[in-house]
Amino acid sequence: MRAKALMVLGTASSVGKSLTVAALCRILKQDGYDVAPFKAQNMALNSFATREGHEIGRAQAMQAQAAGVEPHVDMNPILLKPTSDVGSQVILNGVAVGNHHAVEYFGHMPRWRDEVVRAYERLASRHQVVVLEGAGSPVEMNLKDRDVVNLSMAEAADAACLLVADIDRGGVFASLVGTFALLEPTERARFGGFLVNKFRGDVGLFSDGVVDLERRLSQPCLGVIRYLHDHGVDDEDGLSLERRAVRPRSGMSDDLRVCVVALPYLANFTDFTALEQQPGVVVYYAREPSEADRADVLIVPGSKNTIPDLVWVERTGWGTRVRAHAAARRPLLGICGGFQMLGRAVRDPHRTESEREAVEGLGLLDVSTVMTREKVTRQATARLVDRARLGAASADPEFAGYEIHLGTTTRAKGVAPFFHLVRAGEREPRLDGAVDADGLVMGTYLHGLFDSAAGLRVLLAHWRRLCGKAHADGPIVDPLVERERRYDALAAHYRRDLRMDLVYRMLGIEPRK
């Protein structure tokens, strides 16, 4: 039996489509339905490795978690990871198939459309309800004939549609009226209402606006969703970094100040969501090297384009800043591409990321990396190789996360690895990462290493000890428990303002609670 389909479209990018889909998935799950998310084509540098080893957009993994189902590649058959202003790496059905410029990508549109429809049909055959997400605006007239993610997908899924507009950015009347005006009659017939998102202040003051919009659009308002501060749910892309960047204040002597280098191609900043939620920890993202002056811990994060980002690091003065941080004997961590940058050199003989064959690294770990053609995408668990080096002789925490990377990294003789790592589907552990003799400089390929409460406790205690910070007496906020609490809070926030009776009517099903 084919699933019922509801599609969330937006008047523009970043109006709240991803969060709305997540909220609807959690609400439908709470109401007893087997629900799954779907986005035909996603463009983002934040990605996730499924249990089967496929790469999908992080937003769809987050939405699947909200729905209470395992993330699967059929939820996001096409992922575009920008490699420049005009090109992207294309991930098709979870596997990288090459880098394409926009014109070249559009030339393969019949193939992409067939693939996304097949993925949707597989997904819809396994669930009762599918909540689809669009991208940007559905009425970009120069792109409609090449659309695989908005209205053409709504037609393929026979989905009822709702339109989300962001009132916080201004122009909500023009964006809603303009969007509906550009819809063809057959497209307009799919819509069952509109949603006004991110409202600040007294919602009652907008009641006249709702009446006027309903009259102009001949569509019901499904709700005016109040602005949600600090939702703590993983974001889709780097547009949210400035919102998340909390600069440390002077006088915060006991807080552990963690600075993440805001690389141009920063990937998977969702690695740090769990850190941001810990009491006594301040996480902030910095583009200028001077902003890292007061950092206790410096993190060089993952990168979609390690070599171009490494060139940027040296050109902008970040290389000098990172080396000075290590010389001052303050903790330094590199994750994935950041780990590669901390080594002696990065070589790219196949030109998979750039036109440069080799670039010197920051030289803080005695390792070297060679980029390969094949990408590693695997979930993994890991345990510390040398617990005593991190002050954890009496603990043996398990870390759970995933790998998404190009390249193999070789340690020089005598360099200690960070983890014994076991990839999903394998029995024998691998040695991962590197740690210097004092446990000050560390690198790993494991994304999500902060999402395990026991491991997070060890790492924070180690960093506090190195920085001479008072040990936090309070309990660690368990990232997995907190994630579920946040999804429930997101659903409750939407339930307060969303007319779910109309949503159920659009779906043609009955609420079970």
Is the domain of 350 the same as that of 418?
A: yes
In a domain, 425, yes or no: yes
Q: Which residue has the higher pLDDT, 244 or 17?
A: 17
Closest CA to 291 of 325, 329, 268: 325
Is the domain of 112 the same as that of 21?
A: yes
Is the domain of 202 the same as that of 263?
A: no
In the predicted model, what is the mean pLDDT of residues 287-303? Answer: 96
Is the domain of 17 the same as that of 162?
A: yes
pLDDT at 2 over 50: yes
Token reading at 269: 């900043």
Q: Name residue 193's amino acid.
A: G
Is the domain of 212 the same as that of 263?
A: no
Structural domain containing residue 425: 255-469
pLDDT at 148 over 50: yes
Is the domain of 202 the same as that of 317?
A: no
pLDDT at 64 over 50: yes
Is the domain of 377 the same as that of 423?
A: yes
Neighbours of 346 (CB within 10 A): 24
Task: Report the CATH number that the domain containing residue 282 is assigned in CATH.
Answer: 3.40.50.880
Contacts of 33 (CB under 8 A, 6+ apart): 128, 129, 509, 512
Q: What is the pLDDT of residues 26-58, one digit of tens each?
A: 999 999 999 999 999 999 888 999 999 999 999
* Burial of 98 per CB tally in 10 Å (0-12, 13-18, 19+): exposed
In a domain, 296, yes or no: yes
Question: What is the model's pLDDT at position 316?
Answer: 97
In a domain, 216, yes or no: yes
In a domain, 34, yes or no: yes
Q: Rg for the chain (alpha carbons), in Å?
A: 23
Which residues is 368 bridged to in the sheet? Answer: 345, 410
Question: What is the model's pLDDT at position 472?
Answer: 61
pLDDT at 247 over 60: no
Task: Report the CATH number that the domain containing residue 141 is assigned in CATH.
Answer: 3.40.50.300
Is the domain of 459 the same as that of 489?
A: no
Question: What is the model's pLDDT at position 79?
Answer: 95
Q: What is the pLDDT of residues 379-390, one digit of tens each?
A: 999 999 999 888
Least confident stretch, 69-73, 449-453, 466-470: 466-470
Question: What is the model's pLDDT at position 251?
Answer: 46
Least confident stretch, 149-153, 351-355, 448-452, 485-489: 351-355
Is the domain of 439 the same as that of 499?
A: no
Q: Name residue 397's amino acid.
A: P
Q: Are strands 297-300 and 256-261 parallel, antiparallel or unpaired?
A: parallel
In a domain, 323, yes or no: yes
Is the domain of 388 the same as that of 463?
A: yes
pLDDT category at 8 given cuts 50, 70, 90 is very high
In a domain, 372, yes or no: yes
Q: Which residue has the higher pLDDT, 374 or 119?
A: 119
Q: How many structural domains does the chain have?
A: 2
Q: What is the percent of the chain where pLDDT is above 70?
A: 95
DSSP-based three-state secondary structure for 125: coil
Question: What is the model's pLDDT at position 249?
Answer: 53
In the predicted model, what is the mean pLDDT of residues 189-217? Answer: 96
Q: Which residues are catalytic?
A: 336, 447
In a domain, 439, yes or no: yes
In the predicted model, what is the mean pLDDT of residues 306-313? Answer: 95
Distance CA 70, CA 72 (A): 6
pLDDT category at 236 given cuts 50, 70, 90 is low
DSSP code string of 365-429: SSEEEEEEEEEEEEEEEEEES-TGGGT-TT--PEEEEEEEEEEEEEEPTTPBPSEEEEETT--S-
Distance CA 304, CA 315 (A): 18
Is the domain of 291 the same as that of 439?
A: yes
Question: What is the model's pLDDT at position 98?
Answer: 83
In a domain, 237, yes or no: no
Is the domain of 227 the same as that of 287?
A: no
Tell which phi-psi region holds residue 391, choosing left (phi > 0), alpha (psi between -120 and 50) or beta.
left
Question: Could you tell me if 11 and 165 are in contact, meaning their C-beta atoms sit under 8 angstroms apart?
Answer: yes
Q: How many Cα atoms are found within 13 Å in the side-chain-facing hemisphere of 249? A: 3
pLDDT at 246 over 70: no
In the predicted model, what is the mean pLDDT of residues 444-469? Answer: 94
pLDDT at 273 over 60: yes
pLDDT at 434 over 50: yes
